[in-house]
Amino acid sequence: MKLYVKCDQCHNYIYLNTTASTRRALSQRLRSKSFYLTCPYCQHTRYYRINDAYAQVGPSGIPAGAIIGVILGGLIAGPPGLAIGSVAGATFGSASDKIEKRKVDTFNIERI
């Protein structure tokens, strides 16, 4: 999960170099309910509140899971293991994506 705010000047996403599962946790991590941030694209500095921060799903785990499954399946069981491993890896990646989506939704719904 990646956290960001949107620059009101150039409308680019500014990704935060921190992690938090909720806005309350982000506030505790930053030790404040607000912060100043300079956009790396247009150099505009703005005052943001914790509620201005949003989360988005990070990179998908499906390709990595499928690749790991193929490698392990191929090493252990040969050609049939390749097919079984890729399906198992993709399934695991899909399940972790659903969990990640739930975390993003939880973060974005909460207001402090």
Task: Kindly state the average pLDDT of the residues 34-38.
Answer: 97
Cβ(61)–Cβ(96) below 8 Å: yes
Rounded Cα–Cα distance for residues 99 and 69 (Å): 20
Give the closest residue to 55 by CA, choosing from 95, 112, 2, 110. 2
Rounded Cα–Cα distance for residues 60 and 47 (Å): 32
pLDDT of residue 82: 61
Rounded Cα–Cα distance for residues 112 and 20 (Å): 14
What the block records as the tokens of 87 is 């399906």
Mean pLDDT lowest for which of 3-7, 36-40, 97-101? 97-101
* Residue 4, beta-bridge partner list: 15, 54
